[in-house]
Amino acid sequence: MPYIYEIPTNVSTPDALIGGIVSNMPFLVPLTLFFIWFFIFFSGVNRQSSRLGQADYPFWALMASLSTLIVSLILSLTSGFINIDWLSILVVVNLLCAIWLFLDRRVTEV
């Protein structure tokens, strides 16, 4: 049975497959990181507000930022997935969320 399209046979590893996709769609990794950040942030806020009646937005923003930074650092081990611009943006977002958290707290709470 003939295929409708040619199956790529020169892909040796899953990294090469994802690298080919990222080279054709460069917005894939930033949108994935954006999704990870919002998923962790809104999941944490929703769960905490349903349990306690109020949510700690600065805390969940920092947790989502740290998780996104860890995922991006893991993805940056493979060449071509994440460039230095996106890593620097993530570090700045982490710093801003940490500043927001520490300014939101009293001295005795941190």
For the segment 38-92, what is each residue's pLDDT rounded down to a tens digit?
Answer: 999 999 999 999 999 999 999 999 999 999 999 999 888 877 788 888 899 999 9
**Does the CA dihedral 12-15-21-25 come out positive or negative?**
negative
Number of domains within the chain: 1
Q: What pLDDT, on the 0 to 100 scale, is given for residue 58?
A: 92
Q: What pLDDT, on the 0 to 100 scale, is given for residue 92?
A: 96
How far out from the chain centre does Cα 83 lie? 14
Q: What pLDDT, on the 0 to 100 scale, is given for residue 100?
A: 92
Q: Which domain holds residue 80?
A: 14-104
What is the band of 9 on the pLDDT scale with cuts at 50, 70, 90?
low
Q: Mind giving me the DSSP string for 43-83?
A: HHHHHHHHHHSS--HHHHHHHHHHHHHHHHHHHTTSTTSS-
What is the band of 26 on the pLDDT scale with cuts at 50, 70, 90?
confident
Residue 5 included in any domain: no
Residue 1 included in any domain: no
